Amino acid sequence: MKPEKALIFELSQPGRVAYSLPECDVPDIEPASVIPQSMLRETPASLPEVYEVDVIRHYTELSRRNFGIDNGFYPLGSCTMKYNPKINEDVARLPGFAKIHPYQPEESIQGALELLYTLQNDLAALSGMDQVTLQPAAGAHGEWSGLMLIRAYHESRGEKRTKVIVPDSSHGTNPASATVAGYETVTIPSNARGLVDLDQLRAAVGSDTAALMLTNPNTLGLFEQQIEEIAQIIHDAGGLLYYDGANSNAIMGITRPGDMGFDVVHLNLHKTMSTPHGGGGPGAGPVGVKSRLIPFLPKPVVGRREDGTYYWDTDRPDSIGRVKAYYGNFGILVRAYTYIRTYGPEGLRQVSENAVLNANYMLKRLAPHFEVPYPGVCKHEFVLSGKRLKEYGVRTLDVAKRLLDFGYHPPTVYFPLNVEECIMIEPTETESKETLDAFIDTMIQIAREAESDPQLVLNAPYTTIVKRLDEATAARKPVLNCSC
């Protein structure tokens, strides 16, 4: 068992340094001679005093206490934890991408603008939309931006619509984004097949409907087969259809939100386009729209002149304004561009096909051992229910914790909310059959353990550097920094 890891602050020894600054070759102006004393810091921030070896060993040790895709299988449903290609990392660090400034003259960043312009077009083609903004920094940011576009569209037509409809299986960001965009959320229950209930939808829509937000395939991994009727119902009521792109990994080159009738789309580049999630971010959530919403896009978008040069198009009087400083998470956009070009159109279709076959294979093999709330073909992910294990006192959380002992990152658990003891599995296309088989065998073993020796599962994990943590005390008596 590894000992407790010290905080970097606890390694501090007065007098040590880890920095090397340039020589200060200008006159030593006294701060108080140019800045009023009342604005100057009385006591320096008590940051640690360590040397470079401490820094490297500290963070190396922290990294060893962490689990990424490079460490092993990460079937976290709805998060599309596919392999993060190394070439993406290398090219994003090229000086011409990493060391440029957003306010440099346009003529000095033509390479970057060309990349952004091409990516705008590729994402538009992939999603079946007419124009794309690359500004939003994450999926939720894209949702809010998209809803603000929808709001601007309705307002431009003199309509005050107040409600956004979401299914009960939707991501929590959907209703939260609706609130920030000034909308009231109407949640509709899914039908017995896990899909949008058309009668419920018809009952919920009206002249106050601004939009329906939908993920397709949905968070249960099921394709909304009646998508055209759904679009018809919303459009007939004068509302717009919003596509949450979290599950796009199932459909690249196979179907497009634009062709399904969606008016606004966001894509999660940190899911579908392989950009690394960085332990929580950065992501990127570009938003695509149909032509009637183009005037409202955040400014600027990248334009191309007849002479082949590229420019920031800021002359957009109907724009909703800015949603992010500068032009979005450019470094992430470079990686996504590289990913798209690593596969090309046929390759991306292959990605989706393999992702869907992997998921169906896992579902088929796991079905005899867990409850399957929605049997049949799934898309890139599927849900199981662990409720059968409750009779042994074992819950889904315990299954997840036991998986840690076998070196896996557990699936998403307790989401979507409409499935009891939910286990949501998304293998992605970059995992081999051997990896899937080994994980499946482990899941089956844990289900058996739950029956024969529930305590074994309830006390898991055993092999991790810490055991289960006391989350209740953490929230009751918050210790949120080291107050050194």
Partner 1 sequence: MSEVRDHLFYSEEHEWALPAGGQIVRVGITDHAQCQLGDIVFVELPEVGSTVVAGDSAGSIESVKTVSELYSPVSGKVVGVNDKLVDAPEIVNTSPYEDGWILEVEIDGSLDEALSKLLTPDQYRAIAD
Partner 2 sequence: MKHRYLPMTDRDRAEMLATVGVNSVEELFADIPASVRYNGVLPISPALDEPGMLKHMRRLSDRNADSDRFTSFLGAGIYDHHIPVVIQHVISRSEFYTAYTPYQPEISQGELQAIFEFQSYICELTGMKVANASMYDGATALAEAAALAHGATKRNKIVISRTVHPEAREIVRTTARGLDLEVVEVGFRNGVTDLQQLENAVDDQTAAVLVQTPNFFGCLEDIRAIEPLIHAQKGLLVMSVNPMSLGLLESPGKLGADVVVGDAQPLGIPTSLGGPTCGFFAVSEPLMRRIPGRIVGQTTDRDGKRGYVLTLQAREQHIRREKATSNICSNQALLALCASVYMSVMGKSGMQEVSLQNMRKAHYAASQFPAGSQAFSAPFFNEFVVKLPANADVKAVNAKLLEAGYIGGYDLGVHYPELKGHMLVAVTERRTKKEIEEFVREWEACAV
Task: For the segment 241-270, give every residue that binds partner 2 (CB under 8 A).
Answer: 251-256, 259-261, 270
SS (H, E, C) 135-156: CCCCHHHHHHHHHHHHHHHHHH
Given the complex with partner 1, which of 29 and 475 has the nearer CB atom? 475
Nearest to 16 by CA among 47, 57, 62, 60: 47
Stretch of 196-204, 382-390, 403-411, 448-456 lying at the interface with partner 2 (CB under 8 A): 403-411
Nearest to 169 by CA among 1, 381, 5: 381
Cβ(263)–Cβ(242) below 8 Å: yes
190 DSSP assignment:
B
296's contact among partner 2, partner 1, none, with CB below 5 to 8 A by partner kind, is none
Given the complex with partner 2, which of 108 and 451 has the nearer CB atom? 108
Task: For the segment 192-221, give every residue that binds partner 2 (CB under 8 A).
Answer: none
Greatest Cα pair distance, the chain, in angstroms, is 78
131 near partner 2, judged by CB under 8 A: no
d(CA 87, CA 183): 42
Which tokens in the block code for residue 368? 């005899």
Instruction: Return left, alpha or beta for 12; rule: phi > 0 is left, psi -120 to 50 is alpha, else beta.
Output: beta
Quick check: bond before 175 cis, omega within 30? no
Give me the least distance between CB of 263 and partner 1, in Å please: 33
Binding residue (CB under 8 A) for partner 1 from 185, 414, 430, 435: 414
List Cβ neighbours of 212 (8 Å cut-off, separation of 6 or more).
164, 165, 166, 201, 205, 230, 234, 239, 241, 242
81 near partner 2, judged by CB under 8 A: yes
Stretch of 184-192, 217-225, 364-372, 467-475 lying at the interface with partner 1 (CB under 8 A): 467-475
In our burial notation (b when 16+ CB lie closer than 10 A, e otherwise), range 311-332 reads ebeeebeebbeebbeebbbbbb
393 near partner 2, judged by CB under 8 A: no
390 near partner 1, judged by CB under 8 A: no
User: First and final CA of the chain: distance in angstroms?
Assistant: 27
Stretch of 77-85, 288-296, 384-392, 472-480 lying at the interface with partner 1 (CB under 8 A): 472-480
129 near partner 2, judged by CB under 8 A: no
Given the complex with partner 2, which of 171 and 447 has the nearer CB atom? 171
Given the complex with partner 1, which of 363 and 413 has the nearer CB atom? 413
341 near partner 2, judged by CB under 8 A: yes
Task: For the segment 423-452, give every residue that binds partner 2 (CB under 8 A).
Answer: 429-433
Given the complex with partner 1, which of 4 and 471 has the nearer CB atom? 471
Binding residue (CB under 8 A) for partner 1 from 39, 45, 472, 482: 472
**Helix residue ranges per DSSP H, 157-242:** 173-180, 198-204, 227-236
Give me the least distance between CB of 182 and partner 2, in Å please: 5
List Cβ neighbours of 106 (8 Å cut-off, separation of 6 or more).
113, 309, 310, 311, 312
189 near partner 2, judged by CB under 8 A: no
65's contact among partner 1, partner 2, none, with CB below 5 to 8 A by partner kind, is partner 2
Binding residue (CB under 8 A) for partner 2 from 306, 307, 315, 346: 346
480 near partner 1, judged by CB under 8 A: no
Q: Is 373 helix (H, G, I), strand (E, B) or coil?
A: coil
Binding site for partner 1 (CB under 8 A): 414, 471-472, 475-476
